[in-house]
Amino acid sequence: MARTKPYADASRTRASTWPWLGWALVILIADQVTKTLILNRYQLGDATTLTSFFNIVRAHNTGAAFSFLAQAGGWQRWLFTGFGVVAALFMLWQLRAHPGQKLFSFSLASILGGAVGNVVDRLMHGYVVDFLDFHWAGSHFPAFNVADAAITVGAVCLILDELLRVRQAR
DSSP state letters, 22-79? HHHHHHHHHHHHHHHHHHHH--TT-EEE-SSSEEEEEEEESSSGGGTTTTS-SHHHHH
Instruction: Give Cα 119 distance to the centre of its chain.
Output: 10
Q: CA-CA distances (angstroms) from residue 141 to 36, 137, 151? A: 22, 11, 17
Q: Which of 128, 47, 38 lies closest to 80 in space, CA to CA?
A: 128
Of the candidates 31, 121, 133, 148, the residue annotated as catalytic is 148
Residue 130 falls in the annotated catalytic set: yes
Of the candidates 31, 130, 133, 161, the residue annotated as catalytic is: 130
Count of CA atoms in the C-beta half-sphere (13 A) of 32: 17
Residues taking part in catalysis: 130, 148
